[in-house]
């Protein structure tokens, strides 16, 4: 454990070029929920450099039809160009399937602060328990689901019975 810490520490001051590019791609904000970065969402799968210098970024979509996917790819490309990468390609892969469990703890905190209830831990497919979402404004658990489908594919629409405000909740997937 001590070794690992030292190792991480020494690497921290001497990031490889690829790690730096990986961080640049991961820091791109999500276009629909801009408080989250792509790293918060856990959708940057890989960054590598081909022998010809092209940087290839592999992303995975949250939902197969998520319209933000194309925007995200363009944003990643422009972020990498902004730090001097001449050639960028962005690839999208579906497997392994993204899950809301990959959203970082930091991402969950940011969601809450932004007014979106973070997702529950994901369960195997086909559980249809109606779990309560905690109101991100007043913290009440006395809330009600208005619709399982919200303003983006990844969110459902809720209403708080305590403070009476409507709010979005990130669906477990």
What does the binding site for another protein look like in residue numbers (CB under 8 A)?
Answer: 61, 63-67, 70, 93-99, 125-126, 128, 146-151, 153, 157, 171, 173
Residue number, 5 or 126, with CB nearest to another protein: 126
User: Which of 23/153 has CB closer to another protein?
Assistant: 153
The nearest distance, CB 12 to another protein, in angstroms, is 35
**Least separation in angstroms between CB 65 and another protein:** 3
Q: Which is nearer to another protein, 86 or 95 (CB)?
A: 95
Q: Which of 65/82 has CB closer to another protein?
A: 65
| Shorter beta-carbon distance to another protein: residue 15 or 74 | 74
Closest separation in Å from C-beta 67 to another protein: 7
Q: Which residues pair with 90 in a beta bridge?
A: 57
Q: Write down the least CB distance from residue 2 to another protein, Å.
A: 39
C-alpha dihedral (29, 172, 59, 114), degrees to nearest 10: 0
Alpha-carbon span 53 to 29, nearest angstrom? 25
CB of 111 to another protein, least distance (A): 19
């Amino acid at each position: 454990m001590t070794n690992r810490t030292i190792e991480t520490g020494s690497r921290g001051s001497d990031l490889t070029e690829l790690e730096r590019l990986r961080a640049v791609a991961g820091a791109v904000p999500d276009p629909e929920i801009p408080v989250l970065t792509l790293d918060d969402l856990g959708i940057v799968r890989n960054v590598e450099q081909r022998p010809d210098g092209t940087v290839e970024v592999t992303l995975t979509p949250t939902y197969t039809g998520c319209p933000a996917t194309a925007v995200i790819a363009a944003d990643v490309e422009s972020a990498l160009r902004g730090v001097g990468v001449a050639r960028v390609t962005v690839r999208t892969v579906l497997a392994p399937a993204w899950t809301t469990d990959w959203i970082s703890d930091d991402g969950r905190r940011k969601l809450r602060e932004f007014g979106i209830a973070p997702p529950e831990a994901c369960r195997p497919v086909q559980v249809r328990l109606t779990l309560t979402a905690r109101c991100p404004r007043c913290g009440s658990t006395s809330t009600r689901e208005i619709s399982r489908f919200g303003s983006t594919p990844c969110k459902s629409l809720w209403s708080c019975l305590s403070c009476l405000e409507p709010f979005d909740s990130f669906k477990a997937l």
